[in-house]
């Protein structure tokens, strides 16, 4: 599992950790039942505060990506759980909004935008 944090991005470190773990789960790199490094081990490896890793893990738990078991560790949950799906839907909405905003700046007509989507769906062979 790859987690790389940066001090210069302006985003809080716990957020960066959450994002990267979410990415790994959603992309399938981390499978259901995989054990994440312990809170303290992760803190030690990344040379950051234990409180930061605790926060990242508990946020991920709240969002339904992982489950923290006392004494055993932090496990990845099933990918198609309700909350995970919600995350993905939210992600799709975000990206679509970004596309819409860009289209607005470019003054692209609505019909053109729709056509663009259809073409891309064809190209990407989306079922």
Partner 1 sequence: MRTNGMNNAVEIQGLRKAFRNFTLKDVTFSFPQGYIMGLVGKNGAGKTTTIRLLLNMLARHAGAVRVFGMDNIKDEQRIKQDVGVVFDEIFFVDSWRVSDVERAVKGFYSRWSGQAYGKYLKSFGLPADKRVKELSRGMKLKLMLAVAMSHEARLLILDEPTSGLDPVARDELLGILSAYISDGEKSVLFSTHITTDLEKIADFITLIHNGTVFYTGTKDDLLESYRIVKGGPGDLTDRLRENTVGLERNSAGFSGLVAASELKHPPGRIVAEAPSIDDILVRISAGDGIRE
The answer to whether 35 contacts partner 1 (rule: CB under 8 A) is no
Give the span between the Cα atoms of 19 and 111, in whole angstroms. 34
CA distance 57 to 38: 10
User: Would you say 54 and 46 are in contact if contact means Cβ atoms under 8 Å apart?
Assistant: no
* Interface with partner 1: number of residues (CB under 8 A): 14
**Residue whose CB is less far from partner 1, 49 or 81:** 49
In the block, which residue shows the tokens 């001090």? 7
Residue selected from 26, 48, 68, 103 as contacting partner 1 according to rule CB under 8 A: 48
Residue 43 contacts partner 1 per CB under 8 A? yes
Residue 12 found at the interface with partner 1 (CB under 8 A) = yes
Give the contacts of 73 (CB within 8 A, at least 6 positions apart): 35, 36, 38
Choose, by CB under 8 A, the member of 31, 35, 40, 91 that binds partner 1. Answer: 40
Residues pairing with 76 in the sheet? 66
Q: Which stretch binds partner 1 (CB under 8 A): 49-57, 65-73, 75-83, 100-108?
A: 49-57
In whole angstroms, the minimum distance from the beta carbon of 18 to partner 1 comes to 13
Residue 41 interacts with partner 1 (CB under 8 A)? yes
105, two tokens: 């700046």
**Cα–Cα distance measured from residue 113 to residue 118, given in angstroms and rounded to the nearest whole number:** 9
The footprint of partner 1 (CB under 8 A) covers: 10, 12, 14, 40-41, 43-44, 47-52, 55
């Amino acid at each position: 599992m790859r987690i790389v944090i940066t001090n210069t991005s302006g985003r809080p470190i716990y957020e960066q950790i959450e994002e990267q773990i979410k990415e790994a789960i959603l992309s399938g790199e981390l499978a259901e039942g995989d054990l994440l490094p312990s809170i303290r081990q992760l803190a030690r490896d990344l040379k950051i505060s234990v409180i930061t890793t605790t926060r990242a893990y508990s946020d991920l738990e709240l969002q339904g990506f992982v489950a923290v078991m006392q004494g055993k560790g932090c496990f990845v949950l099933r990918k198609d759980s309700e909350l995970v799906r919600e995350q993905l839907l939210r992600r799709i909405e975000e990206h679509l909004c970004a596309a819409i905003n860009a289209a607005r700046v470019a003054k692209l007509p609505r019909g053109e935008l729709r056509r663009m989507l259809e073409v891309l769906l064809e190209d990407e062979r989306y079922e």
